[in-house]
Amino acid sequence: MTEHYFSRHQTSELVKREWAIQHKGKILRFETASGTFSPRKLDTGTTTLLDEMQLPASGRVLDLGCGNGIIGIAVAATNPALDVVLADINGRAIVETRSNIKRNHVKNAVVVQSDLFEKIEGEFDCVLTNPPISAGRAVVFAMVAGAHAHLNPGGSLQLVARGKKGGETIRDEMERVFGNAETLGRKSGFHVYKSVRR
């Protein structure tokens, strides 16, 4: 059975890489590890979410399924008024995220190893995720339901997915759970969907 990045423990050979991105005028540097999501380069889905996301002026943000920490660290580094929690089930991803927070001198972010919302405490004003589509629809739908339960009134879930490869189904589930859903933007087949807790 092939090991999946959406699992607690990774047994594959550890290979590390380093690369950088520019976000809102800041150069952010990352170390990534094999056995985590998209370790070789910044993927198009994450790029699209970074470009289209709408953040609150202050409050708490959750990067759910953070991988190597790219989204949450970019948010924290460019929005000092936000408190950011980065969470992932993958132990190897957690190690890299902690290292990347230090590498980018980010002070307003913490990391939690959590199977979805298992270890997540408190409520948030925004939940961001590039969900593990290959882990199955049930996992992604649990992320949608969990986000609704962990958002403050007026808070939003913002999620990126391929529109023609499951994204429309996820958007429909967001509409069902939240009672609303909109498309913030799209790029190369990826759509960023947003739902607000009323």
State the DSSP code for 163.
I
Residue 3 covered by a domain: no
**Residue 22: which CATH number?**
3.40.50.150
Where in the sequence is the domain holding 158, given as residue range(s)? 16-196
Residue 145 covered by a domain: yes
Nearest to 16 by CA among 34, 42, 28: 34
pTM for the structure as a whole: 0.92
Residue 8 covered by a domain: no
How many structural domains are present in the chain? Answer: 1
Q: How far apart are the first and last CA of the chain?
A: 42
Residue 6 covered by a domain: no
Residue 40 covered by a domain: yes
Nearest to 76 by CA among 68, 88, 85: 85
Distance CA 191, CA 18 (A): 27
Reading the chain (198 residues) residue by residue, the pLDDT tens digits are: 344 445 555 556 788 899 999 999 999 999 998 878 777 779 999 999 999 999 999 999 999 999 999 999 999 999 999 999 999 999 999 999 999 999 999 999 999 999 999 999 999 999 999 999 888 999 999 999 999 999 999 999 999 999 887 899 999 999 999 999 999 999 999 999 999 999
